[in-house]
Structure 1
Amino acid sequence: MTTRRQFNSRLTTLALLSATLPRWAAAQQSDVVRVLVGFPPGGSGDTLARRLIERLRGNYGSTVIVENKPGAGGQIAVSALNAAAPDGNTLLLTPPAPITVYPFTYKSLPYRPDDAQPVSLVCNFSFGFAVGPAVPESVRTLKDFMDWARVTPAKAMFGSPAAGSTPHLLGSMLAKAAGVELTHVPYRGDGPGLQDLLGGQVAGYSTVLGSYMPHLKSDRLRLLGVSSATRSAIVPDVPTYREQGIALDMMEWMGVFAPKGTPAPVVQRIAGAVQAAVAHPEFAKGLAEFGMTPRSSTPQVFAEQLRVETEMWRVEIKKLGFTAES
């Protein structure tokens, strides 16, 4: 027979155990999961996030929302992730630049890159370089643009979604390969940047291929080249950079991160949910129209890719001589 003292003792023990359960346990019953995106609505990253949360709802959280944290080329979103509790309720969907590039372009960052815990890749995609009405109609190739830029240096500008972002650096690498000086104009995401391109405020623009898709039928935008090793299936008539004599191939990714300190079981659970979302046929179909290819990974594979790419950018940025202050 259990005495009252023994019963009370057991209640006390259960209370203590409940109080000391890891915070991640609460995530199993969370009503709201936030997915942070470092750019404003309208760009391909924001669109991708909204496609992803459709597949995470009910599979990872009952309510999953996108929370845009634009500014500083994605740094604000990474900072917000690192300020969040490591309980699986706050995630980050980001391109690699804030993690792999910015450590070599900024003297200081409001976070440490390894404070973001890699969970899973989500997709791969290529970049493109386009021009708008500020450039003569006769400009139809990258060579045409570079020749025009040489004789009109005051107008030789190109935009990108952020200073120090991969599209920015890739545009600078294109200019360097062509031996041309191009002035970079940074924006807070592709939404405002592409509006300026279409409005003639900036001559050229470098960004992910998918961001151009809604505007390709417009006569105000001409896509001059793509960064993939082979032509893109969605714009098969557009030649690659390499086909145009510029030995430069580059693909990029978007990936999901959790705050550092998130317990391994929670990281694995998030990774499993992301992998299931990415594998869904409707998700792949939705990405295809933006020139993206679904690709998930384990946290371990993702972490190794980050290590390799971080070293690659350390070398390339030193060659460019770029800093955020330059």
Structure 2
Amino acid sequence: MSMSRRNVLQSAGASALLAAVGQQAFAQSQLESVRLITGFAAGGTSDTTCRRVASKLAPEYARTAVVENKTGAGGQIAVQYVKAAAPDGMTVLQTPTSILTIYPHIYKKLPYDPAVDLTPVTLACVFDFGFAVGPAVPLTVKTIPEFLAWAKADPLRANFGSPAAGSTPHFIGALMAKGAGVEMKHAAYRGTQPAMLDLLGGNISAVSGPIGDITQHLPTGKVRILGTSGAKRSRFAPDVATFAEQGLPELTHSEWFAFFLPARATSDVVSRLGSAMRYALSQKDVIDGLGTFGLEAMTSTPGELSDLIRKDTAKWAPIVKRIGFTAEA
């Protein structure tokens, strides 16, 4: 089939017009910049998730995408920061579940209300926790029951660190100790990586934290994972028995990271950011990159994320009551 010169010119003109309109619409919708806010230190799983996703948000969603670490108060500083930001899609919170679903049970006064001050966008990933020991613990200790027996026999060194007071890893360690009738001192850090550095240095005996924050230190030869928190063995540590396999089914917990906007974000802003996030989290290099840190990419709708928050908030209420932990706001 052939086309006349006139038809070719008309077609070219129409294409040029459509391209111009498309470019104009893109320019109008594209943001100048977007900041992904995490409440934990650089180098950890939360920070890594933000950086992997940020790498895919520019230039389609925004001209530039940066990650900012607003550490402190176990992640609360980051939530407060985003709560006070404009709901224009330029400031995005990434946070683990515990800050939204456990903290309401342990703080009498929180500087934010998860149900009021944030707008859910999408899940980012899910992951299991690991319980690891370092140079301060004898090499003969290879399982959770053996660690608990050692801790009971050596109370001065019976301690563990976690990324934050009131976090899921903190409660895993606390439940472990309570169930065994062992006193274990807890040290809260600003993220798992600072805790791991103290573990490697022999300053603390154990760390409870995201499995990916632990596995990256296995090549040092100074770290051993004694147990994992998933319903089945982690593909990132297949040779390590789960807590349930070691007689501690009550320690079966997984966690998620998710993205949020400030309250009052319009449906259009939420939809556009959600689409950009879901695209980023579907890319093979992002999926593989998260996998190196023990994270499994997973997305959701805003409604599904809201339902998950409600479900997990209800789940943790009796657990927190059993542990008896409270914190000063």
TM-score (norm 1): 0.90
Change (3 A) 1:194 1:27: farther
- State the alpha-carbon separation in 2 of the partners of residues 257 and 269 from structure 1: 13
| Aligned with 2:278 (options 275, 279, 289) | 275
**2:299 matched to 1:296?**
yes
Contact 1:27/1:89, CA 8 A, preserved across alignment: no
C-alpha displacement of 1:27: 8.5
**What secondary structure sits across from 2:151 in the alignment?**
helix
Aligned counterparts, 1:304-319, within 5 A: 304-319=307-322
Query: Quick one: which amino acid aligns to residue 160 of structure 1?
Result: S
C-alpha displacement of 1:122: 0.7
C-alpha displacement of 1:177: 2.4
C-alpha displacement of 1:28: 2.9
C-alpha displacement of 1:325: 4.6
**What secondary structure sits across from 2:270 in the alignment?**
helix
**What secondary structure sits across from 2:198 in the alignment?**
helix
Query: Quick one: which amino acid aligns to residue 109 of structure 1?
Result: L
| Aligned with 2:160 (options 158, 161, 165) | 158
**What secondary structure sits across from 1:315 in the alignment?**
helix
Query: Quick one: which amino acid aligns to residue 261 of structure 1?
Result: R
**What secondary structure sits across from 1:220 in the alignment?**
coil
**What secondary structure sits across from 2:31 in the alignment?**
coil
**2:220 matched to 1:241?**
no
Change (3 A) 1:321 1:27: farther
Contact 2:30/2:61, CA 8 A, preserved across alignment: no
**What secondary structure sits across from 2:160 in the alignment?**
strand
Aligned counterparts, 1:64-103, within 5 A: 64-103=65-104
1:202-259 C-alpha deviation (Å, 9 max, x unpaired): 0111000010122112221111011011111121111111111111311111000000
Contact 2:123/2:258, CA 8 A, preserved across alignment: yes
**What secondary structure sits across from 1:291 in the alignment?**
coil
| Aligned with 2:189 (options 187, 190, 201) | 187
Contact 2:162/2:169, CA 8 A, preserved across alignment: yes
Who is 1:137 aligned against?
139
C-alpha displacement of 1:58: 2.0
- State the alpha-carbon separation in 2 of the partners of residues 175 and 62 from structure 1: 49
- State the alpha-carbon separation in 1 of the partners of residues 134 and 51 from structure 2: 28
The runs of 5 or more residues in structure 1 that have no matched partner are 1-25
The alignment covers a number of residue pairs equal to: 302
Q: Which moved more, 1:65-74 or 1:213-222?
A: 213-222
C-alpha displacement of 1:317: 0.6
**What secondary structure sits across from 2:102 in the alignment?**
helix
**2:113 matched to 1:120?**
no
Query: Quick one: which amino acid aligns to residue 103 of structure 1?
Result: P
C-alpha displacement of 1:29: 3.7
Contact 1:27/1:88, CA 8 A, preserved across alignment: no
C-alpha displacement of 1:60: 1.6
- State the alpha-carbon separation in 2 of the partners of residues 324 and 146 from structure 1: 25
Who is 1:111 aligned against?
112
- State the alpha-carbon separation in 2 of the partners of residues 57 and 110 from structure 1: 32
Aligned counterparts, 1:45-56, within 5 A: 45-56=46-57
| Aligned with 1:257 (options 260, 279, 292) | 260
Contact 2:31/2:61, CA 8 A, preserved across alignment: no
Who is 1:9 aligned against?
none
- State the alpha-carbon separation in 1 of the partners of residues 87 and 246 from structure 2: 47
Contact 1:157/1:183, CA 8 A, preserved across alignment: yes
Q: Which moved more, 1:170-179 or 1:278-287?
A: 170-179
- State the alpha-carbon separation in 2 of the partners of residues 174 and 276 from structure 1: 39
| Aligned with 1:146 (options 141, 145, 148) | 148
Who is 2:231 aligned against?
229
- State the alpha-carbon separation in 2 of the partners of residues 147 and 182 from structure 1: 12
**What secondary structure sits across from 1:31 in the alignment?**
strand
Contact 1:88/1:266, CA 8 A, preserved across alignment: yes
Q: Runs of 4+ in structure 1 displaced over 6 angstroms?
A: none
Query: Quick one: which amino acid aligns to residue 306 of structure 1?
Result: I
Aligned counterparts, 1:33-52, within 5 A: 33-52=34-53
- State the alpha-carbon separation in 1 of the partners of residues 247 and 187 from structure 2: 25
Contact 1:156/1:182, CA 8 A, preserved across alignment: yes
- Identity between Structure 1 and Structure 2 (%): 47
TM-score (norm 2): 0.89
Contact 1:27/1:87, CA 8 A, preserved across alignment: no
**2:175 matched to 1:173?**
yes
- State the alpha-carbon separation in 2 of the partners of residues 111 and 233 from structure 1: 36
- State the alpha-carbon separation in 1 of the partners of residues 126 and 322 from structure 2: 25
Contact 1:42/1:190, CA 8 A, preserved across alignment: no
**What secondary structure sits across from 1:184 in the alignment?**
strand
C-alpha displacement of 1:70: 0.4
**What secondary structure sits across from 1:217 in the alignment?**
helix
